[in-house]
């Protein structure tokens, strides 16, 4: 890369580096501080002068899994609710996304708009009627209730995103499968679907991140039998005084798996997060 | 069934095929459409019904028709209009800062060819952090006695209680959203920049364009579509922003951070004034649908909803 335009003057190059370093500090300091604090003792965490060098301890993590606020059930609820909701969203979303990408019906535009508008509806607007419906149907404080609630944002997202991935598959692929004697379903299942494997994984991971990170829905719908990790983190605050050591440990536990999952699909993130409106690098 | 199937001369055959295809695609869409209808149309009908009713929650859910009572309240509710203004201010500030910073970081990363991928990965991390953790972490960092950022601000001479003061609390929750979502803009813009053909930039350089000129007249126009998509995506999220404010200030101090979503939540689930909450919600829904329309129009222009 040494074409004429990339030979920028030294001063500009230093400027670029300075901006990037400031940007990195702004981005990373809170996360590094969170992880570091989770390994500190109570005294170190709440020291008036920030402690940059300290004796690391696993005490915060140990007390999260033993004693009164045992994190185990919360993790299980989070895994169940967000996992099942994401699997359902991807499975149903793949079928519908395929249909939407290929259909030639006249109302297609309106259907597409309706799908996307349910995804964009303000959370509070969805939560309120669902609360009344769930209360009538006895779904408050249940994992199935949370799964359904998460589907309200995961399903339209999955449909729209999968249809963007299906639109990338050239029609000739499917046509030649049909010519070779496949039924429509066989052509979809054995030929077209495998070509969107990266789309399926990306859709699943993003659905997982959205529902794993959800707070508003879980706040309203969950109870002792279904509370998720974000609620556990928040509850640590409302108890008398805040145990910041434990809180930063919970934070680390909530954040780490999603960072790993998110970075695993980095290549398709642009497509995913813009619902296919911008194709990735 | 040969490859001549799509030739214009065989239009009738193609029509038959189209009808068949409609059937199969329609079939594939059915489960998703039915489920989505259950999950969206029923709640929509419910919230509209709620806006005309006094809802009793004891002994099942009972709706009492009260006509336009709650809708009438909307117009005399000065607080709500202030909260809308605050929401708009919040919206403009967060989305504006995210766009400017995201564009800036993207341009800088784009210049750094070799380290770009590693740096971009590091830049992306905040996006995956649960907003509730962003909020709690923000509280931790700005705690008035031991917060790291409180201490840093103390070094440069600022000693206020950040989440305790109106303006500073407002700016703090803005900063938290900016921290979380600037990476998204950086990611999207960088993708747009890398898609700009080298030849166009070289041509501009040969024509003697300086850095600013080639940015303004070559780069910016070629990524304007991408920027617009990024803007709209952030817009629909920023208008419904709830988690961070809820766990940091919960609308306080003295309502300085009380946006419409917070007000809606409080009306519904703290005061159980469900009818009026439904009215506030339906107004929010209308605003969001307008934004969604703009979004789809942009997608349309890019040929995505063909």
In B, which residues are within 8 Å of A28 by CB distance? 122, 125
By the 8 A CB rule, do B164 and B253 touch? Answer: yes
Cross-chain Cβ contact B136/A130 below 8 Å: no
Q: How far is B243 from chain A (nearest CA, A)?
A: 6
Give the confidence band of A281 by pLDDT, cuts at 50, 70, 90.
Answer: very low
Question: Mean pLDDT for chain B?
Answer: 85
> CA of A229: how far to CAs of A36, A52, A64, A269, B111, in Å?
20, 28, 12, 24, 40
How many other C-beta atoms can be found within 10 angstroms of the C-beta atom of residue B187? Answer: 27
Q: Which of B7, B25, B153, B272 to mutate to test the interface with A (most CBs of A within 10 A)?
A: B25
Please name which of B73, B19, B109 lies closest in space to residue B277, comparing C-alpha atoms.
Answer: B73
pLDDT attached to residue A8: 65
Please name which of A248, A76, A210 lies closest in space to residue B127, comparing C-alpha atoms.
Answer: A210
Residue with tokens 């798996």: A257
Q: What tokens does B169 get? A: 């609390």
Q: Which of 203-242 (A) contact B at CB < 8 A?
A: 209, 212-216, 219-220, 229-230, 233-234, 237
- Parallel/antiparallel/unpaired status of strands B53-56 and B62-65: antiparallel
How far is it, in rounded angstroms, from Cα B76 to Cα B74? 6
Report field, pTM of the whole predicted structure over 0.95: no
Torsion of CA B99, B105, B107, B113, to 10 degrees: -150
Cα-based angle B157, B162, B163 (whole degrees, multiple of 5): 175
pLDDT attached to residue B203: 83
| Residue environment code for A9-21, b if the CB has 16+ CB neighbours within 10 A, otherwise e | eeeeeeebeebbe
Percent of chain B with pLDDT over 70: 91
Give the pLDDT mean for B79-106.
94
How many other C-beta atoms can be found within 10 angstroms of the C-beta atom of residue A165? Answer: 24
Give the pLDDT mean for B74-100.
93
**Dihedral angle sign, alpha carbons of residues A14, A17, A21, A22:** positive
Q: What tokens does B167 get? A: 């303006």
How far is it, in rounded angstroms, from Cα A271 to Cα B188? 9
What's A67's DSSP letter? S
**Worst-scoring range by mean pLDDT, A97-101, A239-243, B140-144, B176-180?**
A239-243
pLDDT attached to residue B3: 40
Decide which of A260 and A4 is more confident: A260
Q: How far is B101 from chain A (nearest CA, A)?
A: 9
């Amino acid at each position: 890369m040494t074409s004429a335009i990339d030979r920028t003057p030294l001063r500009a190059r230093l400027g670029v580096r300075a901006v990037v370093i400031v940007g990195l500090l702004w981005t990373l300091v809170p996360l590094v501080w969170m992880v570091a604090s989770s390994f500190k003792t109570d005294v170190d965490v709440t020291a008036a002068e920030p402690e940059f060098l300290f004796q690391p301890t696993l005490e915060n993590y140990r007390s999260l899994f033993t004693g009164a606020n045992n994190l185990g059930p919360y993790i299980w609820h989070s895994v169940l609710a967000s996992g099942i909701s994401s699997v359902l969203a991807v499975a149903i979303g793949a079928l519908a996304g395929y249909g939407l990408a290929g259909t030639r019906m006249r109302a297609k535009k309106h259907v597409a708009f309706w799908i996307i508008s349910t995804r964009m509806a303000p959370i509070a607007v969805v939560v309120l009627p669902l609360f009344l419906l769930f209360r009538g149907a006895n779904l408050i404080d249940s994992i199935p209730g949370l799964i359904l609630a998460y589907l309200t944002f995961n399903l339209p997202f999955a449909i729209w995103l999968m249809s963007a991935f299906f639109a990338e598959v050239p029609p000739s692929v499917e046509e030649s499968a049909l010519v070779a004697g496949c039924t429509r379903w066989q052509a979809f299942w054995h030929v077209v679907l495998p070509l969107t494997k990266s789309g399926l994984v990306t859709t699943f991971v993003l659905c997982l991140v959205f529902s794993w990170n959800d707070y508003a829905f879980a706040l309203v719908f969950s109870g002792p039998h279904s509370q998720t990790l974000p609620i556990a983190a928040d509850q640590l605050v409302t108890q008398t005084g805040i145990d910041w050591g434990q809180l930063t440990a919970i934070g680390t536990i909530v954040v780490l798996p999603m960072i790993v999952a998110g970075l695993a699909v980095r290549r398709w993130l642009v497509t995913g997060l813009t619902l296919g409106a911008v194709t990735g690098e | 069934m040969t490859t001549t199937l799509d030739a214009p001369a065989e239009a009738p055959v193609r029509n038959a095929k189209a009808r068949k295809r409609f059937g199969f695609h329609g079939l594939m869409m059915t489960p998703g459409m039915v489920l989505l209808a259950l999950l969206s149309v029923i709640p929509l009908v419910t919230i509209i019904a709620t806006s005309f009713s006094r809802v009793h929650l004891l002994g099942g859910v009972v709706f009492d028709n009260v006509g336009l009572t709650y809708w009438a309240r909307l117009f005399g509710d000065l607080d709500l209009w202030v909260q809308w203004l605050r929401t708009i201010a919040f919206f403009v500030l967060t989305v504006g800062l995210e766009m400017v910073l995201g564009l800036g970081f993207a341009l800088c990363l784009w210049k750094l060819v070799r380290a770009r991928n590693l740096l971009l990965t590091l830049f992306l991390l905040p996006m995956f952090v649960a907003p509730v953790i962003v909020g709690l972490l923000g509280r931790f960092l700005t705690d008035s006695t031991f917060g790291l950022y409180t201490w840093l601000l103390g070094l440069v001479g600022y000693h206020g209680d950040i989440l305790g003061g109106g303006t500073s609390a407002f700016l703090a929750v803005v900063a938290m959203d900016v921290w979380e979502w600037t990476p998204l803009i950086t990611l999207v813009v960088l993708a747009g920049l890398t898609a700009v053909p080298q030849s166009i930039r070289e041509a501009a350089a040969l024509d003697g364009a300086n850095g600013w000129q080639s940015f303004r007249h070559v780069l910016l126009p070629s990524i304007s579509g991408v920027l617009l998509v990024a803007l709209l995506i952030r817009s629909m999220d920023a208008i419904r922003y709830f988690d961070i404010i809820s766990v940091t200030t919960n609308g306080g101090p003295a309502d300085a951070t009380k946006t419409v979503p917070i007000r809606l939540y409080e009306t519904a689930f703290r005061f159980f004034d469900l009818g009026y909450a439904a009215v506030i919600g339906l107004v929010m829904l209308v605003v969001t649908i307008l934004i969604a329309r703009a979004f789809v129009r942009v997608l349309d222009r890019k040929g995505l909803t063909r």
